[in-house]
Amino acid sequence: MSTGQGTGTAGRGIEIRHLRAFLAVADEGSVTRGAARLGVTQPVVSRTLAALERQLGVRLVDRSTHHLVLTPEGVAFRDKATAAVGAFEEAIDPGRLRHRPLRLGHAWSAFGPYTTPLLRTWQQRHPGTPLELLRIDDRTAGLTRGEVDAALLRGPVDTPGLVTEVLFTETRVAAVAADGPLAARASLSLADLTADAVVLNTVSGATTLALWPPHAAPAATLAVANTDDWLTAIAAGQGNGVSGASTAQMHPHAGVVYVPLDDAPPLPVLLARRDGPGHPELPRLAALAREIVAGQRPGPPSRGNGPGRPGIPSADGE
């Protein structure tokens, strides 16, 4: 079977083997691992991928870095290739595509208090389609790079080409050093955090300086690249942080206490996907996520987390 793209002669020589080779490389993030998955040699996959790019007249894979990544054209083509291969496999073996893992990305805290119910219920209802939860330190959790089929994101997302749905909102909490003066407070305001630096995850976090009025901005900021570094900096007394309530449950830390914030707006938790053909089980994933949220509403957050302290149910790392 061949599939064409564009006009004129472009795409006339493309066959299913070209698409399968591209998808294997895209899924595995490596030509070597893609070849192993297909049971062929690396040179064969490299030649097949190069032939596909020549036929399309675009570069699909960026090979200039250590970590192989898809180009923007490659990300867009991945969905089309998945749909084409899926249609072919559905025709010769109905139901086969549904066995491909459904990759769900997140940058921190996944689905908060609903994470375990989502994974367990999915496994019970759809054992033929594994649901893979992947943490990827990126604002869209790898979605725009084609590394996942859908993503759980927090805060407003205005990335072009994505379709989002708000699943629930969670209250925000302050994250402060366990041995600092703010840790003993029953609650805090945003203004209470501005005397010290505010630690911001500028790669995947949802907290920015826009959370504070211009006239009441923090004295300083400290930029980090992931949740682990965010927690480490706060525990070391280098600054305070703001996050959603799920962080306390999903990311407990002996050196960090989570304290409710009185005046911070709630943080939306979104399910995002690319606008276009995608994994056939995405509608079922969205329906299950909505069902679990509707049936398992968590209670209000309790006191902060730290040595000897009860945790706050729910949130996300900034």
How confident is the model over 223-240, as pLDDT tens digits?
Answer: 999 999 999 999 999 999
127 plus 215 within the same structural domain:
yes
- Check whether 32 has a pLDDT greater than 80: yes
Nearest to 197 by CA among 134, 240, 167: 240
The number of helices, as runs of H, and strands, as runs of E, in the chain is 8, 12
Torsion of CA 32, 33, 39, 43, to 10 degrees: -20
Structural domain boundaries enclosing 311: 101-318
Per-residue confidence (pLDDT) for residue 95, from 0 to 100: 54
129 plus 68 within the same structural domain:
no
110 plus 44 within the same structural domain:
no
What is the model's pTM?
Answer: 0.70
50 plus 106 within the same structural domain:
no
180 plus 136 within the same structural domain:
yes
Q: For residue 6, tell me if it sits in a domain.
A: no
257 plus 222 within the same structural domain:
yes
C-alpha–C-alpha distance, residues 288 and 242, integer Å: 29
C-alpha–C-alpha distance, residues 234 and 200, integer Å: 10
74 plus 220 within the same structural domain:
no
79 plus 47 within the same structural domain:
yes
Residue 34: strand, helix, or coil: helix
Spell out the residues 6+ positions from residue 293 whose beta carbon is closer than 8 angstroms to its own. Answer: 114, 167, 168
Per-residue confidence (pLDDT) for residue 177, from 0 to 100: 97
170 plus 254 within the same structural domain:
yes
225 plus 161 within the same structural domain:
yes
Q: For residue 9, tell me if it sits in a domain.
A: no
Compute the residue count for the chain.
318
Domain edge (last residue) among 40, 72, 97: 97
What total of structural domains would you count in the chain?
Answer: 2
Q: For residue 297, tell me if it sits in a domain.
A: yes
H-run or E-run covering 173: strand 172-177
Nearest to 304 by CA among 209, 205, 172, 194: 172
Tell me: the pLDDT tens digits for 259-295?
Answer: 999 999 999 999 999 887 778 899 999 999 999 999 8
Strands 197-201 and 267-274: unpaired
Strands 197-201 and 162-170: unpaired
The residues facing 199 across adjacent strands are 222
Domain edge (last residue) among 78, 97, 116: 97
C-alpha–C-alpha distance, residues 27 and 115, integer Å: 24
